Amino acid sequence: MRIRSTAPVVATLLSGALLLTACGGSDDEAASSSGGGDGDVELSVSLFGTMGFEESALFEEYEKQNPGVQINYESTQGEDKYWPALQTKLASGSGLADVQGIEVARIADVVANQSDKWTDLTTLQATKDIAANYVEWKAAAATTEDGKVLGAGTDIGPMALCYRTDLLEQAGLPTDPAELAARLGSWDDYVALGEEYKAAAPEGSAWMDSAGGFYNAMVSTSEEIYYDEAGELVYDSNPAVKEAFDTAAAAGEAGLTARLEQFVDPAWDQGFASGSFATIACPSWMIGYIKGKAGDAGAGKWNVTPLPGGEGGNWGGSYLAIPESSENKEEAAKLIAWLTDGEQQATVFKNVGNFPSTTDGIANVGDATDEYFNGAPIGEIFTASADAAPTQILGQDDGVLKNTLVKALLSVEANGVPAQEAWDSAVSQVENQLG
Amino acid sequence: MTVDTMPGTPSPADAVPPAPGARPAPRRRRRRLLGESGLAPYAYVGPFFLIFLAFGLFPLVYTAWVSLHEYRLGGEMTWTGLDNYTWLFTSEQFYNALWKTITIGALSTIPQLALALGLAHLLNYRMRARNFFRISMIMPYATSVAASTLVFAQIFGRDNGFANWLLSLVGIDGPDWRNGNWTAQIAISVIVIWRWTGYNALIYLAGMQSISQDLYEAAAIDGASKWQQFVHVTLPGLRPTILFTVVVSTIGATQLFGEPLLFGGGTPNGGALGQYQTLGLYMYQQGWQFGALGRAATVAWVTFVLIVLLVVLNTALTRWRTGERSTRRAAR
């Protein structure tokens, strides 16, 4: 009987304790994220995808050069999962790392809406003049109207064309990069060559991977894409967007694409090795991606040539930034400055293909070649593309627009939706979304 | 003091020594306050309700609150009243997602429950290695959604997929499962069916075993075939079990999320035409791809109301169907 009478008390206490622990969680977390004592510094770095630092053992080297600094690194595979998680941490002000990565498609949003949540790098000793090292537009995109610099560029995405020499050979097309480049004076030439390829192509192989990839390559060579300089939405009146959309849609309708959605369809990944497509628009970071997916068996089968007409463009690239809540800002700035220094950027480029964003770094990679790609002069090709690339105007909803248009193009190539209908439905979806 | 001599009555809280003659009265009072009929039951169920309040009711109410605001991921909330609902009910994409949720739900739930019923009926017979078959029923359910979906995504691959290879053996040119409208929905339904059929079969089996053997014997003596026994003894006897699985499957189908998300390579687009974008994916897309949390909350609430409506409708339908059958049987 004794037990019975004390049980209610115990149960009440238990429920109370549950409530208390539910409330206490956040304090513990805040306490553990501060730096270690005794002059030792623990720096947390949270990135996404393959940024190349870990892969090139740069964190290890930094720790060696700076005794007392310990780097805790973590990476989320997909940027589409990394970003929402980062936003919730920013909103709650806890769980943030000292250094966070930001993809170029997000930087306009950060500059326009979150300048109070990120540290102005010009206020820190190590990164005071960091913007001066960068390709001009790269720094401009991370600078607010009142001159705060919120991110240090890690890489940019100058573009080229990657192709399978063995497939082109079987179709009777030139396999030498220079000869191929001579046949590619414009995007129309690229499509025309595709028709030629299709006529003699090995079975089960298309000229390019996807209409969406083709479209992205084309619009990436424009200065104005979805927004104008004043920040107004102009995608539906911008001839560059419509032209790229129509050209890519036509290529899809003509059966020049393998109808494989980039980064989504597992068959796209397999296609690098199995030869479902002969060419792919190739931002520099795609070099590393191809190596990963085509594997050792693909070595020597791939090559690189400049974009049609030798055009320059940019697709992708990232920034490193320090959240305002970081307690190790000076140390984090030192790390950022070192990681984005020309020498380290060149190392990353040689390891995973991410192209330097600093003028120093670019100077360091000019003579780089890649054995895997038949010894292609990738340094030279991507440097030329970066030089020729226009200063893109970025907008905060670029991601929504790109996603909607690429999806519409997939419906053209894979579902036989007429191009104009796909365009109209994409426009109405964008209007519904962005109002 | 009474503390040690009267087991069961005292507790430190009641330290006031009662007057000797009035002993039974405080005891009764105490029993009312703390005993079985008093506070104790509340204290016992307390933890559940506290957790329910914190993780069930509060999110529900807060989601409703958020749905009345424009709230960008990483931004501030601004009150907009019912704007989000107006937006939702004028969005073509929402109606598409609603329709796909219903079609995929039907494509997966109906064959799933029918299969489960058949399997359970077979497992209910005496046979060799019965326990092995019963246990293996639950294996797909124990597999994670991610693992099974990734495998099925490979099986339904266009170029090197197993399904298309099988079709090619009989001379059929395999479809582009992922990009086709119905083919993608069928592929996702197959994943759902594969995962949940065994689970439902075991529930049916448990239900079947509570049906008295006498009924089967009596039916057999009356000359009923196995099929007649199934229709006239098993089905009416399973009525509450069927009701339960229908409700659970309806909720599951309306919330379908993991399978189409992973089938779409982790993106919430649901294919070029949104052909497999369910309400769950639509909500995820609004919240986490486009950063529109207010709109995501709106989708969540509308989905919640929809689930309640569907469950009520399904329950009524199932009651009516099985009720009709048992009255027919009784009339015979």
pLDDT single digits (tens) B58-72: 999 999 999 999 998
- A221/A113 same-domain check: no
The residue-averaged pLDDT of B158-186 equals 91
- A140/A235 same-domain check: no
pLDDT band, very low/low/confident/very high, at B227 (cuts 50, 70, 90)? confident
Q: Is residue B179 one of the residues assigned to a domain?
A: no
- A166/A192 same-domain check: yes
Given CB atoms, is B267 within the 8 Å cutoff of chain A?
Answer: yes
CB spacing of B273 vs A6 below 8 angstroms: no
- A190/A336 same-domain check: no
pLDDT band, very low/low/confident/very high, at B323 (cuts 50, 70, 90)? low
- A394/A288 same-domain check: yes
Q: Is residue A32 one of the residues assigned to a domain?
A: no
**Portion of chain B with pLDDT greater than 90, in percent:** 54
Quote the minimal CA–CA distance from A97 to chain B in Å.
16
What HEC string does B140-184 produce? HHHCCHHHHHHHHHHHCCCCCCHHHHHHHHCCCCCCCCCCCHHHH
pLDDT of residue B16: 47
Count up the domains in chain A and report the number: 2
Cα–Cα distance, A355 to A336 (Å, whole number):
17
Cα–Cα distance, A399 to A376 (Å, whole number):
32
Count up the domains in chain B and report the number: 1
- A388/A279 same-domain check: yes
Given CB atoms, is B264 within the 8 Å cutoff of chain A?
Answer: yes
What residues make up the domain containing B250? 91-148+191-291
Q: Is residue B283 one of the residues assigned to a domain?
A: yes
CATH number for the domain that contains residue B95: 1.10.3720.10
The tokens of A92 are what?
């709650």
- A47/A191 same-domain check: no
- A201/A340 same-domain check: no
pLDDT of residue A19: 47
CB spacing of B8 vs A6 below 8 angstroms: no
Instruction: Name the residue among B168, B24, B57 with its Cα closest to residue B32.
Output: B24
**Portion of chain A with pLDDT greater than 90, in percent:** 80
CB spacing of B176 vs A407 below 8 angstroms: no
Question: Among A114, A399, A414, whose Cβ lies nearest the Cβ of B74?
Answer: A114
Q: How far apart are the first and last CA of chain A?
A: 68
Which backbone phi and psi does B69 adopt, to 5 degrees?
-125, 160
Q: Which residue has the higher pLDDT, A200 or B322?
A: A200
Given CB atoms, is B143 within the 8 Å cutoff of chain A?
Answer: no
Single residue among A363, A383, A401 that ends a domain in this structure: A363
Contact A279, A161 (CB under 8 A): yes
Cα–Cα distance, A75 to A54 (Å, whole number):
10
Give the range among A32-41, A131-140, B102-111, B239-248 with minimum mean pLDDT: A32-41
Cα–Cα distance, A401 to A95 (Å, whole number):
30
The tokens of A334 are what?
């030192």
Instruction: For tokens 């949390």, name the residue.
Output: B293
Give the range among A191-195, B18-22, B104-108, B136-140 with minimum mean pLDDT: B18-22
Whether the pLDDT of residue B26 is over 70: the answer is no
Whether the pLDDT of residue B160 is over 90: the answer is no
Whether the pLDDT of residue B83 is over 90: the answer is yes
- A355/A304 same-domain check: no
Which backbone phi and psi does A100 adopt, to 5 degrees?
-125, 145
Question: Among B11, B46, B159, whose Cβ lies nearest the Cβ of A267?
Answer: B159
Contact A393, A229 (CB under 8 A): yes
- A379/A262 same-domain check: yes
Cα–Cα distance, B167 to B286 (Å, whole number):
38
CB spacing of B92 vs A261 below 8 angstroms: no
pLDDT of residue A28: 38
pLDDT of residue B166: 93
Q: Is the ipTM of this complex over 0.90?
A: no
- Report the length, in residues, of chain B: 332
pLDDT of residue A162: 97
Q: Percent helix, strand, coil in chain B (nearest 5)? A: 70, 0, 25
Q: Is residue A15 one of the residues assigned to a domain?
A: no
What residues make up the domain containing A136? 41-156+317-363
pLDDT of residue A265: 87
pLDDT of residue B18: 47
Q: Is residue A24 one of the residues assigned to a domain?
A: no
pLDDT of residue B35: 54
Q: Is residue A19 one of the residues assigned to a domain?
A: no
pLDDT of residue A135: 87
- A341/A403 same-domain check: no
The residue-averaged pLDDT of A366-375 equals 94
pLDDT of residue B310: 87
Give the range among A40-54, A192-206, B31-45, B265-279 with minimum mean pLDDT: B31-45
CB count in 10 Å sphere of residue A166: 17
The residue-averaged pLDDT of B13-30 equals 49
Q: What is the pLDDT of residues A258-307, one digit of tens each?
A: 999 998 888 899 999 999 999 999 999 999 999 999 999 999 999 999 99
Q: What is the pLDDT of residues A110-167, one digit of tens each?
A: 999 899 999 999 999 999 999 998 988 899 999 999 999 999 999 999 999 999 999 9
Instruction: Name the residue among A98, A127, A99 with its Cα closest to residue A34.
Output: A98
Q: Is residue B285 one of the residues assigned to a domain?
A: yes
CATH number for the domain that contains residue A238: 3.40.190.10
In this prediction the pTM is: 0.83
Given CB atoms, is B125 within the 8 Å cutoff of chain A?
Answer: no
